[in-house]
Structure 1
Amino acid sequence: MNSKIKKYLLVFGLFTSFTSFNSCSLWNNFTVYYNRFYLAEKAFEDAEEEIKLNPKKTLFQFKEDKLPATANKNFDEVIKFSSKILQFNKDTKYVNKAIYMIAKSYYYKEMYNKAVRNFYELDKLKDEDLGLSTKLWIAKSEMQMRNFTTALKLIEEVKKTAVALEEDEILFQVYITEISYLIYREDFSKAISKIEELTQLDFDDDVKSAITYELGLLYITLENYEKAVNAFEIVNEGSPSFEIEVKSKIEYAKAIKHLGRNEESMELLTTLVDDTKYEQYWDVINLEIAQIELETGKPDIALEIFYSIDTGYSKNESSGIAAFMQGDILEHIYMNYDSAKFMYDKVASKKAPDEYKKEALAKSNLLKTRKEYSDLIFSSTRGYKYLIDTTLFISDSIAYAGYLARRDSAMQVENENDISQSKVKTSTRNKRPVRGTQAALKEQFKYYEDSLFTYEPKLPLISIDSVKNQISKSKYDLGNLYFSDLLVPDSAYFYYQDIIANHSDTKFYPKALYALGSYYLTLDNKEKADSLFKFVYDNHSSDPIAKIAGIRLGIDMKELSTDPALEEYHFAEILLEEEKYNAAIEKLDSVYNKFPNSQYSPKALYSIGWIYENKLSDYDTAVLYYDTLKAKFPNTDYVRDINFKLAFYHSEKKAVKDSIARVEKALQDSIFQFEKAIKDSIKADSLSQNRTIIIPDSTQSDKSILDSNSVILNGSQRTLKLEEANNNTSDSSKIIDLFEQAKELQKKEKNN
Structure 2
Amino acid sequence: MQKFLLITLISAFFQIYPQISEKFDFAMNAFQNQQYAQANRLFDEFFNDYKIVDELYATAKYYSAESLLKLGRKDEAAIGFEYIVNTFYWSNYRDKALYNLGLIYFSTGKYDLSRQRLKKLLNEYPESDYYGNGLYWIGESYSVENKTKEAIQFLEEAVADKRNKKFADYSLYALANAYEQIGDYDNAVKYYDQLLTYHKNSSLATSAQIRIGICYFKLKDYQSSIVELKSPRLTNLSDDMYSESIYLLATAHYRVNEYPEAEQSYQEVMEKFPSSEYYRPSKYGLAWSYFQQKKYEDAFIQFDELSAESDTIGIKSFFWKGECKRYLNKLNEANSIYKEFLEIYPNDKLAEEAKYQLGVVYFNTNNTDLAIRYLISANSSDNDLIKAKSFAMLGEIELSKRDYKAAKNYFQLVLDNVNNEKSVYNRALLGIGIAEYHLNDNKGSLKHLTQLDKSDPSFETQKLNFFLAENYFTLNNYREALNRYNYSMGNDPEINLETIYGKAYCYFNSGDYENAAIQFLDFTKKYKDDKRYSDARLRLADSYFGSKNYSAASKIYEDLFSSDALLNINPYVRYQYAQALYKSGKTMDAINEFKNIQEKFPDSEYAEVSLFTIGWIYFQQRNYSQSIAQYNNVILKYPDTKLKPVIYYSIGDAQFNQGKYDSAIVNYEKVLAQYPSSQYVFDAVNGIQYSYVAKGNPEKAISFLGEFVSKNPGLSYSDQLLFKKGEIYYSLRQYDKAKSEYKNFTSAYPNSNLIPDAYYWIGKSARNLGQGEEAIFNFDKVVNSYQSSELASASILEIGNIYRAAKNYQSAINIYDKGINQLKKSNKVPEFQYNKGMTYLEMSKYQEAYSVFEEVVMYYPETVFGDKSKFELALIDIAGGRFSNADGYLIALAENRTDELGAKSQYYLGQSLYDQKKYNDAITALVRVRTVFSRYEEWLMRSYLLSGDCYVKLNDKRNAAEMYRAVLSKYRGTPIGDEAAQKLRKVQ
TM-score range, shorter chain: 0.3 to 0.5
Q: Which structure has the greater CA radius of gyration? A: 2
**Could you tell me the TM-score, scaled by structure 2's length?**
0.36
**Could you tell me the TM-score, scaled by structure 1's length?**
0.45
